[in-house]
Copies of this chain bind each other. A is one copy, B any other.
Amino acid sequence: MLNEKMIGLGSAPNDIRALFAYGLARKAEIGEDKVFDFSIGNPSVPAPAEVSATIKRLLDEEDPVALHSYTPSPGRFETRKAVADHLSRHFDIAAKPEQVYITSGASSSLAISFKAVACEGEEVIVPSPYFTEYKTWVEATGASIVEVPCLEPSFQLDVPAIEAAITPRTAAIVVNSPNNPVGAVYTKESLERLAAVLARKEQEFGTSIYLIADEPYRAITYGKEVPFIPTIYARTILCYSFSKTLSLPGERLGFIYVSDLMENPQETTYAIQGAGRSLGYICCSALWQRVLEECIELPTDVEAYRVNREILTKGLSELGYEYVEPNGAFYLWVKALEPDAVAFSNRAKDFELLFCPSDGFGGKGWFRLSYCIARETIENSLPAFAALKKAYDDQA
């Protein structure tokens, strides 16, 4: 029998992708430069030139049979070692390749991690607003999500509220910093308070609570330090992706790192490997694994995003929009001009402004601007934002 839940998931694609599709159609209709599409997080900076050069060299120099053959499911040992060495070098830890599992990007890192640590009937705490697909992947394990709103207007973690939400059924908590959709970076102090709460609750309930650190935007920041969570809370599973930092979103390249600092990391790593197997992963593209070995230390080019961020925050600020100080990622979280953010976002379409209302992220009254787009689009969008504001002011 067809699985009704799957029909539901397949026939109603997530809001972001639906808006993105609307944008493509609208551009075809009235012209690319007339639509201001802030809907999706597709990096606008090209991948570093070394990526192409590495691929060409591999194709020229390597035996094609070996180059394209199956790798072990967790990845080539050399690739896992490159990741472990990278982590050790940057975060002053002793990461072992055995605890690294190469994945097909963040989605796969997260779906596998949830499957490994959550069972039927359990709960996963998700600070809100949050990346919508967490819910899809948590529910696929038979567990459910428990949303805990962040503090407004800073959108930092509300640690006492998280503490109150933890029950004996809590399997994990997701921490996404720099944050999508808000652009917030969680402070070291708040993460230390969270770690203390998790440890206390583990002891109180005699359970294990995993912290799943979802960090695809780690390298995209504007001055603020992004604390390395495994050294703050031992039972951490780090989920990473090179989609944003190497501008390779369509290539599906990431990893899971089970912190060596937790007790018996091998058991958790087995659960990760088993979850990958269960979800139908054999290995990440062998060619892309080789590219990663060569390119993992390349710096992320954030200059374009920094410029966009300046233009956008300055422009919106002058127009009187309120937003959360964006310390990382390439998202700006802005207060809608009416309480119903869906209605507001729909009205914005009349001004050819496309952005996602907070509702799809589990929040109310805000909207998300992805500013990983062409600078001119941002510059040219400001009169539309002005007109939108005026429409609301005139009405008041």
Interface residues of A (CB under 8 A from B): 1-3, 5-11, 13, 17, 40, 42-47, 51-52, 55-56, 59, 63-65, 67-73, 104-105, 107-108, 110-112, 115-119, 122, 133, 136-137, 140-141, 171, 207-208, 247-252, 267-288
Contact = CB atoms under 8 A, between A and B. Distances in A.
A388 B122 CA distance: 54
Contacts of A271: 2-3, 6-7, 10
A122 B1 CA distance: 8
Contact of A283 (B63, B115, B252): B252
For the residues of A in contact with B, the DSSP-based class is helix
Given A9-B278, A282-B107, A117 B270 contact: no
Contacts of A69: 42-43, 249-250
* Copies of this polypeptide in the complex: 2
A311 to B, nearest CB: 20
Given A9-B273, A136-B277, 20 more contacts: A1-B117, A1-B119, A1-B171, A2-B208, A6-B275, A7-B267, A10-B271, A10-B275, A11-B270, A42-B69, A46-B63, A46-B65, A47-B64, A56-B56, A68-B251, A104-B282, A107-B282, A111-B280, A137-B278, A250-B286
A107 B70 contact: no
Given A2-B117, A68-B247, A208-B1, A284 B252 contact: yes
B64 A43 contact: no
7 contacts: A10-B276, A43-B65, A43-B69, A47-B64, A112-B280, A252-B283, A279-B279
Given A250-B71, A271-B10, A278-B9, A2 B65 contact: no
B70 A10 contact: no
Contacts of A42: 69-70
Contacts of A248: 68
Nearest to A248: B68
A269 B117 CA distance: 30
Contacts of A11: 270, 273-274
Given A108-B281, A280-B137, A270 B10 contact: yes
Given A64-B46, A279-B140, A285-B252, A2 B267 contact: yes
8 tightest A-B CB contacts, nearest first: A111-B280, A250-B286, A10-B274, A9-B274, A10-B273, A6-B274, A10-B270, A46-B64
B7 A270 contact: yes
Contact of A285 (B207, B247, B250, B269): B250
Contacts of A285: 250-252, 285, 288
A288 B287 CA distance: 10
Contact of A5 (B122, B247, B274): B274
Nearest to A280: B111
Nearest to A277: B9
Contacts of A3: 115-119, 141, 271, 274-275
A86 to B, nearest CB: 21
Contacts of A116: 2-3, 6
A8 B108 CA distance: 20
Contacts of A273: 9-11, 13
A1 B110 contact: no
A280 B68 contact: no
A280 B10 contact: no
A63 B44 CA distance: 11
A9 B281 CA distance: 13
Contacts of A44: 65
Contacts of A47: 64, 68
